[in-house]
Amino acid sequence: MNVLYAAAVAAIMAAAIYMILSRNLVRIMLGLALLSTGANLLLFTAGDFSNRQPPIIAPGQDRLGDAADPLAQALILTAIVIGFALTVVLATVVLRAWRATGSLDARTVEATEQPDAPELLDPDNG
């Protein structure tokens, strides 16, 4: 079971890295989203799923018996939310780049670094 999950993590991450290396900004974004999915699956595997009992203390006892590890689940939930937030912000930036340049090619977006463009000479007097 562990080997299966490990192989799945490896496959997802390899696909994600392949996409991040692309020049298309949308592919980069999807690749980053996929990469965080791979990391979440890794966290899930690390949580050791040999037990499937919910972590609830049985009546009449004062400690937990065999149960699934709730901490790993909490970590994954947090990581999903963070990954989602970052993907949304990155999507906004990519959308902005597309509107500004009409292109999703990383080369056209990255090449625009003119340190002394006239609009910059008098920054922010609005």
Please report, as ranges, the residues that interact with another protein according to CB under 8 A.
13, 20, 25, 28, 32, 35-36, 38-39, 42-43, 45-48, 71-72, 75, 78-79, 82, 85-86, 89-90, 93-94, 96-97, 100-101, 106, 109-117, 119-121, 123-126
Query: What is the rounded CA–CA span in Å between residue 102 and residue 25?
Result: 12
Q: Tell me the closest approach of the beta carbon of residue 56 to another protein, in angstroms.
A: 16
Looking at the Cβ atoms of 60 and 116, the one nearer to another protein is 116
Q: Tell me the closest approach of the beta carbon of residue 36 to another protein, in angstroms.
A: 6
Looking at the Cβ atoms of 61 and 114, the one nearer to another protein is 114
Query: What is the rounded CA–CA span in Å between residue 126 and residue 117?
Result: 17
Looking at the Cβ atoms of 15 and 79, the one nearer to another protein is 79
Which of left, alpha, beta for 122 (phi over 0: left; psi -120 to 50: alpha)? Answer: beta
Query: What is the rounded CA–CA span in Å between residue 52 and residue 39?
Result: 22
Looking at the Cβ atoms of 54 and 123, the one nearer to another protein is 123
Q: Tell me the closest approach of the beta carbon of residue 124 to another protein, in angstroms.
A: 4
Query: What is the rounded CA–CA span in Å between residue 112 and residue 35?
Result: 28
Q: Tell me the closest approach of the beta carbon of residue 58 to another protein, in angstroms.
A: 20
Q: In terms of C-beta density within 10 A (0-12 exposed, 13-18 middle, 19 or more buried), how is residue 16 classed?
A: buried
